[in-house]
Amino acid sequence: MPRIQQLPNSLINQIAAGEVIERPASVVKEIIENAIDAGATDIDIDIEDGGGKLIRVRDNGCGIHPDDLALAFATHATSKIQNIDDLEHITTLGFRGEALPSIASVSKTTLTSRAEGQEQAWRISPHLGNGISPAAHPPGTTIEIRDLFYNTPARKKFLKSERTERAHIQQLVQSLALSHAGIRIHLKNHGKTLGDYGGGDLTARIQSVLGDELLEQAVAIDARAADMHLYGRVGLPTCTHTQPDQQYFYINGRIIRDKIIAHAIRQAYQDMTYHGRHPIYVLYLDINPELIDVNAHPAKHEVRFRESRLTHDFIYSSLNHALRGNIPANAPTLPPAAPPARSSVDDSTPRPRQTPLYLAGSERRPGRSAVAESTAYYQWAQHIPAPPQPASAYPLPSAGSVAPGPVLPAAAEQAPEHPLGYALGQIHNIFILAQNAHGLVIVDMHAAHERILYERLKQQLRAQNPQTQHLLIPQSLAATPATLDTLARHHDWLARLGYTLAASADESRIHITTVPALLKHAPAPEIVGELLHELGEYPASTAIARLEDQILSRLSCHKAVRAHDALNLDEMNQLLRDIENTPASGQCNHGRPTWIQLSTDEIGKYFMRGE
């Protein structure tokens, strides 16, 4: 066997570079974060050939003292921490002192810097080995990286095409631009601008990076608890993408990908987004640095939470609170209701101030102000001013009955205006037409009734402890040391759910003797196995809730009024009132919209009125 040898520093740095420098975008990330830590307010990035040939980053930060230039490329040399206590109070993006030596070990790097208060700038090129030399440079620092991975061909061959690497850099720069709105960041490729994000407030930065979509179709978040502050924007459940390409989460200004956070966000959107769609969001969590460990990943993409369950539940509850409409008092509200229109559209019809929550066709794209106002309507529609009224049976008329024609009920003359108005009739016994102060409301009656029943069944289930069902023949699942440990720690919690579990004498199996009555027909070993896995993986298990939701979803779907069921006006109006008093009523529990609003102005446009 070969003898143990001390590796040379050059090889150590290249090994470290393999952890820190994955591709050109990794280089850009490390250098921009150094510039941000240096207090820069203006950062320019130039790249060529996807960053493989050239990466140049110039900033106007505090610069590096000439006596520290050589030390800047030494391993684990940093100005950001000095002792073990500093490691527990990290407020900077970088702190290990690994980035520059790692980059210099796999590229031809030149650093030019002029420190604050210095009349002269200085330059150093570690690959030339000629020390520092005077240079012309304004206050700040420029780092130039050429021929990345020139001396590690095995790494270079794993780089993707220039277009792909350039796209990674663009996405990375956008992420960093969102994390620090007050810093101007300018990215160029072969001298052509790819992104220019001027310094400003957070709203302006979100708009410059992501466009109008997130601002117009999102809910603002601003929640505080103990040492945590969560703020930003989360897209409405109807504003989703096929890919999770616009999901940004920052902790103390640092880009983070964390499974606990992802789990909390996914749970908040559960049963509100369409299958296979992904919400969009830009969220910021400011937290006491003592409560997190940022030294958990070589590239600092992950963190550890001292109170992971508390953090998870805070994020989930904050998002759930906003998405389901429990909005703060200063949130936008609907305008005062106007008297309902009694005739066809004419020029005297008051102009509605609210626009549809859901677009009635993919080609209809209202302008920014219109969509922005629809957010207020969405927020109202999700708000629950009082507990839901007892469920109506929605009795169906006899098969020979006919739905009434589109005549506004006389009760509407004296009754107060309801936000969803009063029913006029049905279209093919599938959709309900209603008139309100703003125009026409179209309701998918099956989808709406499905959400109403779903929320009521869920409320009934949560209001009492679930009944248990004893199994005539106990079931079991295979045990592992990990599942046995999880069972020992969470035995009481599982018992409160209705599961009676015990390990076999030889600890090879876990026996199940009781289950929740609601899940008596579900596969108990599979559910318990999933529960034990999630209890060991996440701070709070949602397996039972998810399975219950799936069952309740099926029950509500089967019990809801069906397409082609004829309803009379009283039944239609009762359904409208129940929609108004049901949380998350804008979507069925599969994520599809339940109703849309067409304003009188929009209807008039189809007839070219006012043109």
CATH classification of the domain holding 277: 3.30.230.10
Top pLDDT among 344 and 597 is at 597
Residue 48 vs residues 102, 108, 162, 189, 192: alpha-carbon distances, Å: 21, 14, 9, 6, 10
> What is the distance between the alpha carbons of residues 48 and 264, in angstroms, rounded to a whole number?
39
Residue ending a domain, among 175, 197, 219, is: 197
Domain boundary among 197, 230, 253: 197
For residues 166 and 279, state if they share a domain.
Answer: no
In this structure, the answer to whether residues 241 and 144 fall within a common structural domain is no
Interval 419-441: pLDDT, tens: 899 999 999 999 999 999 889 99
Taken in order 365, 366, 371, 377, the sign of the CA dihedral is negative
Please give the residue range of the domain that contains residue 216: 211-325
Please give the residue that has the higher pLDDT: either 89 or 283: 283
Tell me, yes or no, whether 336 lies in a domain: no
Helix (H/G/I), strand (E/B), else coil: 334 = coil
**Residue 486 domain-assigned (yes or no):** yes
pLDDT tens-digit readout, 185-235: 999 999 999 999 987 889 999 999 988 878 888 899 999 998 899 999 999
35 in the same domain as 145: yes
> Is the domain of 53 the same as that of 138?
yes
Say if residue 165's pLDDT is above 80.
Answer: yes
Is 399 contained in some domain?
A: no
pLDDT tens-digit readout, 514-533: 988 767 777 899 889 988 88
245 versus 433: the higher-pLDDT residue is 433
Q: Do residues 596 and 520 both lie within one domain?
A: yes
Global confidence as pTM: 0.65
Instruction: Tell me which residue has tokens 């959107």.
Output: 269
Point out the least confidently predicted range of 6-20, 36-50, 259-273, 281-295.
6-20
Residue 34 lies in a domain: yes
Integer Cα distance of 47 and 24 in angstroms: 9
Are both 273 and 191 inside the same structural domain?
Answer: no
Residue 184 host element (H or E): strand 184-189
- Number of structural domains, the chain? 3
Could you tell me the pLDDT band of residue 328, with boundaries at 50, 70 and 90? very low
Looking at the chain, how many residues does it have? Answer: 611
Among the residue ranges 11-20, 316-325, 388-397, 451-460, the one predicted with the least confidence is 388-397
Work out the average pLDDT over 135-154. Answer: 94
Contacts of 181 (CB under 8 A, 6+ apart): 199, 200, 201, 202, 204, 205
The predicted model gives 237-243 an average pLDDT of 85
Residues in contact with 73: Cβ distance below 8 Å, sequence separation at least 6, in sequence order: 100, 101, 104, 109, 111, 124, 126
Under 8 Å between Cβ of 147 and 53: yes
Statement to judge: residues 185 and 237 lie in one domain: no
User: Does residue 539 register a pLDDT over 60?
Assistant: no
Asked if 140 and 220 sit in the same domain, the reply is no
Q: Do 27 and 119 have their domain in common?
A: yes
Looking at mean pLDDT, say which of 201-215, 382-396, 500-514, 596-610 comes out highest: 500-514
**Quick check: is 452 in a domain?**
yes
pLDDT of residue 441: 94
Whether the Cβ atoms of residue 517 and residue 468 lie closer than 8 Å to each other: yes
Q: Is residue 426 part of a domain?
A: yes
222 and 281 co-located in one domain: yes
The answer to whether position 384 is within a domain reads no
> Are 309 and 447 in the same domain?
no
In a domain, 337, yes or no: no
Mean confidence (pLDDT) of the chain:
80
What pLDDT shows up at residue 492? 83
Cβ 340 vs Cβ 422: under 8 Å: yes
The predicted pLDDT at position 410 comes to: 47
CATH number at residue 560: 3.30.1540.20
Query: What sections of 272-307 are H helices per DSSP?
Result: none
In a shared domain, residues 191 and 222:
no
How far is Cα 265 from Cα 78, in angstroms, rounded to an integer? 35
Tell me the CATH number at 60.
3.30.565.10
Boundary (domain end) residue, out of 296, 325, 354: 325
